[in-house]
Amino acid sequence: MDSTNSAYKEESLLSLKFKQLLAEAEEEPADKGKIILKRIYDDGKPLSLNEMLELVELKHRGSFIKRHLQPLIASGLVVMVDPSAKTSPNQRYQLSIKGLIYMARADWK
C-alpha cells in the first residue's frame, strides 16, 4: 500500500510540474524570438548563432545575444545543445520541452 501511495504522489508531482510548464509557456517572446522559435520548430533541428542572425537579418552578435537569445534562454524556451561549451563556435540552440509546449499551443505559428 505504501508503494501505491508513493507512486500516486510521484504522479501528482509530475502532473503539477507539467501544469506549471503549460502556464509558463503562455508568456510571449519578442517578435524576433518568435521567428527563431518558429524556424527551430518547423525545421525540427537546432540553429547556430550565425543561422539565427541571418534569419532575423541582424549583424551585431552582441546585441542579438543580449536582446533576443538570452531572453529566450532565460525564459526556458530555448536551450543550448552543449551547455558545457557555451562559447563554442559550434554551439547550437534547440527548443526545450517548455518551448515545444509553447509552440504546440501557439496560435500564430
Count of structural domains within the chain: 1
What's 26's domain CATH number?
Answer: 1.10.10.10
CA dihedral 84, 91, 108, 103 (to 10 degrees): -40
Q: pLDDT tens across 34-71, in order? A: 899 999 999 999 999 999 999 999 999 999 999 999 99
How far from 49 is each of 14, 56, 96, CA to CA, in Å? 33, 11, 17
Average pLDDT on 18-42 reads 76
Cell of 18: 507539467
Q: What is the pTM of this model?
A: 0.72
The pLDDT of residue 35 is 92
